[in-house]
Amino acid sequence: MGVTVDVHEVFKYPFEQVVASFLRKYPNPMDKNVISVKTVEERKDVSTGIIYRKRIAVCQNVVPEILRKVNILKVPNIQLEEESWLNPQERNMAIRSHCLTWTQYASMKEESVFRESMENPNWTEFIQKGRISITGAGFLNCVLETFASTFLRQGVQKGIRIMEMLLKEQCGAPLAE
């Protein structure tokens, strides 16, 4: 089966400021579930100017305690891998993320893009598609997917609020039309 989440948000800030805020968004006191984010690889293609980054995030296991009675869910932390390709000339950044934990039972993938808004070049569009599917957990598949769907939707909204707060703190009020 699987659960999908689609997001489209416009930040009324320039691309460069939005990307800088995204890259330092976590860890953050507004989301204590993200314990750490570490850049494990970074390189720049001199011919294209594209900056590639690979980061590993360590997050608290947010699966409800009652579901952690199942052995496979009894881990304290979950690891996510994020790869990004920043193209400063074209003012876009593509991001792919996936879960490194529970890969034999669950698949969590996100694809995101930050790009200059076509509506206003001083604004930035954020588009994200996420999908979670659970297999191999028997009767719990549906329960876990329902929980994951709710958590993912809430997490996306929390992430957008954190971005807006960081942008306002670092850059002031959003840019008007």
What CATH number does residue 145 fall under?
3.30.530.20
State what percent of residues in the chain have pLDDT above 90.
55
pLDDT tens-place string over residues 78-104: 899 999 999 999 999 999 999 898 787
Q: Is residue 89 part of a domain?
A: yes
Structure tokens, 97? 């993320």
Q: Is residue 74 part of a domain?
A: yes
Q: Is residue 84 part of a domain?
A: yes
Average pLDDT of the chain to the nearest whole number: 88
pLDDT tens-place string over residues 24-37: 999 888 888 899 99
Radius of gyration for the chain, computed over Cα atoms and rounded to the nearest angstrom: 17
Q: pTM of the entire structure?
A: 0.88
Query: Per mean pLDDT, which of 1-5, 98-102, 172-176 is the most reliable?
Result: 98-102
Please, which residues have CB within 8 angstroms of residue 74's CB and are 6 or more apart in sequence? 68
Q: What's the CA gap between 59 and 51, in Å, rounded?
A: 25
DSSP 31: B
At which residue do the structure tokens 């807006």 appear?
Answer: 164
Please, which residues have CB within 8 angstroms of residue 97's CB and are 6 or more apart in sequence? 80, 81, 82, 83, 108, 109, 110, 112
The total number of structural domains in the chain stands at: 1
Q: Is residue 80 part of a domain?
A: yes
Q: What's the CA gap between 62 and 120, in Å, rounded?
A: 38
Q: Is residue 177 part of a domain?
A: no
Structure tokens, 99? 């879960």
At which residue do the structure tokens 């003012």 appear?
Answer: 91
Domain with 117 in it: 2-171
Residue 123 has pLDDT above 80, yes or no: yes
Q: What's the CA gap between 108 and 101, in Å, rounded?
A: 10
Q: What is the mean pLDDT of residues 123-142?
A: 84
Q: Is residue 78 part of a domain?
A: yes
Q: What's phi and psi for 13, nearest 5 deg?
A: -140, 155
Count Cβ atoms within 10 A of the Cβ of residue 153 and give its class: 0-12 exposed, 13-18 middle, 19 or more buried. middle
Q: Is residue 161 part of a domain?
A: yes
Q: What's the CA gap between 107 and 122, in Å, rounded?
A: 36
Q: Is residue 176 part of a domain?
A: no
Structure tokens, 91? 């003012």
SS3 content of the chain, % helix, strand, coil (to 5): 25, 40, 30
